[in-house]
């Protein structure tokens, strides 16, 4: 009887030790983690599909989660539903941090995609008629980009001191508007669908490509390819120094990914690394 009791105690102890060991190796970033990376459907997701293959050869398992708007990926990263995301530029991230208090940081660059204005009715912004309806993004950073592009092409003039150095311009900051164009603020995803109702609209490259538009071919006005809006990889601030972060960034910044971007997008998207 005593022998059985001792054996029983040994069994319980061993089982408890095994159970504790199983919990010890189960966190999200154990030896062989599966990382959830959020990105936008379209060109971003296409590029990340190549990144996952490069990362796998380095022992890093990456699962790509696709989104269709610019708000959800940062919220999901901040809440812990994602480990990283790759879809935004620094001005957009800065704006989100100011608005929502996210503890999210930039750990590496991906590509630059120039924003353009598109139209089904005119061939140049110079051809905008009096009182034309022109669509721009309703988020601060991309709306600012659109206004700066309109200013660059002589359609409007902004008040001094806005639009640069971290001060986003809004339609209220338009100082001169000779043609009295009407600025229509819409969610970025809605702008391609609104082209029938607008004389022109600024459209981010990912949404333009999904709508069958090729920026360097179809845009009637476009940003410089080497601008300040390089997209980036973001992680929570608490994770920035973890080994998997360095591996993930290195996978994106590989020669294989660079070659894919150059061959697939032919200048519409340019590597920023």
For residues 203 and 208, give the distance between their C-alpha atoms in angstroms, rounded to a whole number. 6
Tokens 């809605």 correspond to what residue? Answer: 190
CB 269 within 8 A of CB 205: yes
Q: Report, as an integer, the average pLDDT of 266-273.
A: 89
For residues 72 and 84, give the distance between their C-alpha atoms in angstroms, rounded to a whole number. 12
pLDDT value of residue 17: 36
Environment class of residue 189 by beta-carbon count within 10 Å: exposed (0-12), middle (13-18) or buried (19+)?
A: middle
Confidence band (pLDDT; 50, 70, 90) for 74?
very high
Q: Report, as an integer, the average pLDDT of 20-42.
A: 63
Q: What is the dihedral of CA 247, 252, 254, 260, to 10 degrees?
A: 150
Q: Report, as an integer, the average pLDDT of 130-149.
A: 96
pLDDT value of residue 195: 98
Q: How many C-beta atoms surround the C-beta of residue 195 within 10 A?
A: 18
225-238 pLDDT tens trace: 777 899 999 999 99
75-109 pLDDT tens trace: 999 999 999 999 999 999 999 999 999 999 999 99
Sheet holding 61-67, edge to edge: 61-67, 34-40, 84-89, 230-236, 104-112, 270-271
Q: Report, as an integer, the average pLDDT of 162-185.
A: 94
For residues 117 and 150, give the distance between their C-alpha atoms in angstroms, rounded to a whole number. 9
Q: Do 34-114+228-271 and 116-222 fold alike per CATH?
A: yes
Structural domain 34-114+228-271, CATH architecture: 3-Layer(aba) Sandwich (3.40)
111, β-bridge pairs = 271
pLDDT value of residue 6: 38
Give the residue ranges of DSSP H helices in 220-254.
243-252
* 14: Cβ contacts below 8 Å, ≥ 6 apart: none
Residue 86 has phi, psi (to 5 degrees) of -145, 95
Domain ranges of the chain: 34-114+228-271, 116-222
pLDDT value of residue 28: 41
183-226 pLDDT tens trace: 999 999 999 999 999 999 999 998 999 999 989 899 999 998 77
Look up the pTM and report it. 0.76
- In 3D space, the residue among 219, 253, 213 whose CA is nearest the CA of residue 233 turns out to be 253
34-55 pLDDT tens trace: 999 999 999 999 999 999 999 9
Domain range 116-222, its CATH number among 3.40.190.10, 3.30.565.10, 3.30.160.100, 3.30.365.10: 3.40.190.10
pLDDT value of residue 29: 43
Higher confidence at residue 231 or residue 11?
Answer: 231
5 pLDDT above the threshold of 90:
no
Percent of the chain at pLDDT > 70 equals 88
CB 246 within 8 A of CB 108: no
Average pLDDT of the chain? 89
pLDDT value of residue 32: 60
CB 105 within 8 A of CB 240: yes
């Amino acid at each position: 009887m005593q022998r059985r009791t001792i054996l029983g105690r040994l069994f319980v102890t061993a089982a408890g030790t095994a159970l504790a060991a199983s919990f010890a190796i189960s966190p999200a970033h154990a030896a062989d983690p599966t990382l959830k990376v959020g990105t936008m459907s379209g060109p971003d997701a296409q590029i990340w599909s190549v990144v996952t293959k490069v990362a796998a050869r380095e022992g890093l398992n990456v699962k790509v989660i696709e989104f269709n708007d610019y708000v959800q990926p940062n919220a999901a990263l901040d809440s812990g539903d994602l480990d990283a995301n790759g879809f935004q530029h620094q001005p957009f991230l800065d704006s989100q941090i100011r608005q929502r208090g996210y503890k999210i940081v930039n750990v590496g660059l991906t590509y630059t995609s120039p924003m353009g204005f598109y139209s089904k009715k005119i061939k140049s912004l110079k051809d905008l008629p009096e009182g034309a309806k022109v669509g721009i993004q309703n988020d601060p950073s991309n709306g600012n980009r659109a206004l700066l592009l309109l200013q660059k092409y002589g359609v409007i003039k902004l008040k001094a001191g806005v639009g640069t150095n971290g001060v986003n311009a809004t339609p209220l900051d338009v100082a001169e508007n000779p043609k009295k164009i009407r600025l229509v603020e819409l969610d970025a995803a809605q702008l391609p669908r609104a082209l029938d109702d607008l004389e022109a609209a600024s459209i981010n490259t990912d949404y333009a490509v999904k709508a069958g538009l090729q920026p360097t071919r179809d845009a009637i006005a476009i940003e410089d390819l080497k601008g300040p809006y390089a997209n980036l990889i973001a992680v929570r601030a608490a994770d920035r120094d973890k080994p998997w972060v360095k591996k993930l960034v290195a996978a994106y910044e590989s020669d294989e990914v660079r070659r894919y971007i150059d061959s697939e997008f032919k200048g519409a998207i340019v590597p920023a690394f």
